[in-house]
Amino acid sequence: MLPLPPSANRLWRHGRGRIYKSDAYSGWLTQCGWHIAIARPKKITGPYALTVRAARPNGRSPDLDNILKPIGDLLQRQGVISNDNLCEEISAKWASEGMTVRIEEI
């Protein structure tokens, strides 16, 4: 299980004339990167389907679709997929606990 990413609205920050990853986003990418390294998933170089099941965080009611972009970016950064633009199918659902991500080659 992976931790829930920051909302898509909190991924990037602006300052001193540039755009950069927020501390929350950078920390989440690093933390999840370790989980992925341990799991050693199969690499997918072509089209794929993404399935996400995530628990709503306490005290917040984020939009379900706001967690999808960071997950695609994470999978690409970790080399699990070659490019997140190759996703041809997405299924996302609120679950009872944690967050699970499944990718399948199409």
The domain 8-105 belongs to what CATH superfamily? Holliday junction resolvase RusA (3.30.1330.70)
pTM of the model: 0.85
- What is the token pair recorded at 65? 């679709």
- What is the token pair recorded at 100? 């699970």
pLDDT in tens, 4-63: 898 778 888 988 899 999 999 999 999 999 999 999 999 999 999 999 999 987 766 778
Residue 59 confidence (pLDDT): 64
Between CA 2 and CA 104 the distance in angstroms is 18
The pairing of beta strand 18-21 with beta strand 12-15? antiparallel
Encoded amino acid at 5, one letter: P
Residue 7 confidence (pLDDT): 79
- What is the token pair recorded at 43? 């690499």
pLDDT in tens, 54-103: 998 776 677 888 889 999 999 999 999 999 999 999 999 999 888 999 99
Q: What percent of the chain has pLDDT over 90?
A: 68
